[in-house]
Structure 1
């Protein structure tokens, strides 16, 4: 396959850095985004860093202009959030949607005209398996990832006549240290505090034992470069098994199983 121009958001750490590294290793020209390109501590050889702030829609246009004609866009950058819905301000929820949903959509809109004119292109939305298997105290984050998946799956047919492929990818639990950067919204005296702490402890254990960023990046890069990519990919947390069960089992059973994996007992209502 000839060299393509790839734009990877959030390319300074975790999955984004590994995606950028693997695209370079496969001979592609890679742009990686960061809020401040001048302060990248461990730049990846072969990656050109450009500024992007998902919360600033104008920066999406500027980023696309700097990258030029983009063949593959990987919308990976985002923020993680946890806590009780009752304890989370509307401002915090709106800010999360701005960064995790509206920013990636703004960047996608910025590259689509060029892809349409050239009649080729691929857009990958990196979501989370919490979209398919939501759990208590992660409602806002799961909702943003569900929105990204819906955008990708609905727009897939819309842009297909112009040779553009839209792909949704859901990582399971990944050992990237994202838990250390997660914003937490739960009051010290909140009635939800005890159960949140139970979930948080289980989440830390699950993340420590999660699949590597390298493994997840391989899935994303393979999907983006596939001749005929599927609409949806998932990896981690025994994805093949749990998605099969999700198709067969009652919804409440799946919710109860997901809660149990995160340390929360079943509550019958």
Structure 2
């Protein structure tokens, strides 16, 4: 795979660059000689700023801030839509307000930012947009329905828009990380009622999820996949890394859907149940 080198320096905007995958993606782009802007809701409070990254304000839930962010940065060659929130819990116990907020942050915010960069990319005849999703989109599991749905939406936007913008030199890419050891579990919003009938099974899933995340790949490994995809001369529509991605996606193509759902449930500590 041909990768654009530092001699072809790009202006890159990475959302959610204050921690986790976003921070490592921003760092990797800087190391490869690109001009990098990283977003945070409060840029002045970034605890561990990365040398060479210019921090700008962006609130995914505030669509007007997308326009302001793009106006401040100016020309943007590569947009990495990485920022988002994690959520878990029983659907029955999750308020519509919480679900709507999650979609605002994880879907509508990235779409608003993408819409803000597209005119400039189209006029210049070049640009790349990367949607960072989750393998939970391809392998959904109980108690993660809302989060998986937001990541599925991002993937569908990327796949459908890819052909729409291709005539103008713009590439749309979807990337699905598997389980990553970033500590995101400590920041995940949980929705389980005090006397929920789902509490016991949720706790089983939560314990398995914690174990899986502790053993997950590191953020720097995932960041290299994202950066390589964004800089590739002819990027694929879809990339995945972690959780034995090559094997499980092959099984997903070959085996019955119910088998894959059962397999994913077992990976998260949940027994097979026939409905």
Normalising by structure 2, what TM-score?
A: 0.97
Structure 1: 5+ residue stretches without partners: none
Q: Secondary structure at the match of 1:62?
A: helix
Cα distance in structure 2, aligned partners of 1:150 and 1:67? 27
Which of 6, 31, 52 aligns to 2:12? It is 6
Cα distance in structure 1, aligned partners of 2:184 and 2:72? 28
Cα distance in structure 2, aligned partners of 1:39 and 1:182? 20
Which of 56, 74, 80 aligns to 1:68? It is 74
Match of 1:91 in 2: 97
Match of 2:152 in 1: 146
Shift, 1:182, TM fit: 0.1
Cα distance in structure 2, aligned partners of 1:206 and 1:37? 31
Shift, 1:254, TM fit: 0.1
Shift, 1:46, TM fit: 0.3
Match of 2:168 in 1: 162
Shift, 1:188, TM fit: 1.8
Asked if 1:125 corresponds to 2:149, the answer is no
Cα distance in structure 1, aligned partners of 2:207 and 2:47? 30
Q: Secondary structure at the match of 1:123?
A: strand
1:28-43 maps to which residues of 2 (within 5 A)? 28-43=34-49
Asked if 1:203 corresponds to 2:203, the answer is no
Q: Which runs of 4+ in 1 moved over 2 A?
A: none
Shift, 1:41, TM fit: 1.2
Match of 2:194 in 1: 188
Asked if 1:114 corresponds to 2:135, the answer is no
1:16-31 maps to which residues of 2 (within 5 A)? 16-31=22-37
Match of 1:102 in 2: 108
Which of 225, 239, 243 aligns to 1:219? It is 225
Cα distance in structure 1, aligned partners of 2:94 and 2:47? 33
Cα distance in structure 2, aligned partners of 1:108 and 1:212? 27
Asked if 1:262 corresponds to 2:272, the answer is no
Structure 2: 5+ residue stretches without partners: none
Cα distance in structure 2, aligned partners of 1:40 and 1:85? 33
Shift, 1:40, TM fit: 1.0
- Equivalences, count: 269
Cα distance in structure 2, aligned partners of 1:102 and 1:165? 20
Deviates more, 1:37-46 or 1:152-161: 37-46
Q: What's the CA shift string for 1:116-168, capped at 9, x where partnerless?
A: 00000000000000000000000000000000000000000000000000000
Cα distance in structure 2, aligned partners of 1:168 and 1:37? 26
Shift, 1:241, TM fit: 0.1
Alpha-carbon RMSD across the aligned residues, in angstroms, is 0.4
Match of 1:137 in 2: 143
Shift, 1:171, TM fit: 0.2
Q: What's the CA shift string for 1:199-234, capped at 9, x where partnerless?
A: 000000000000000000000000000000000000
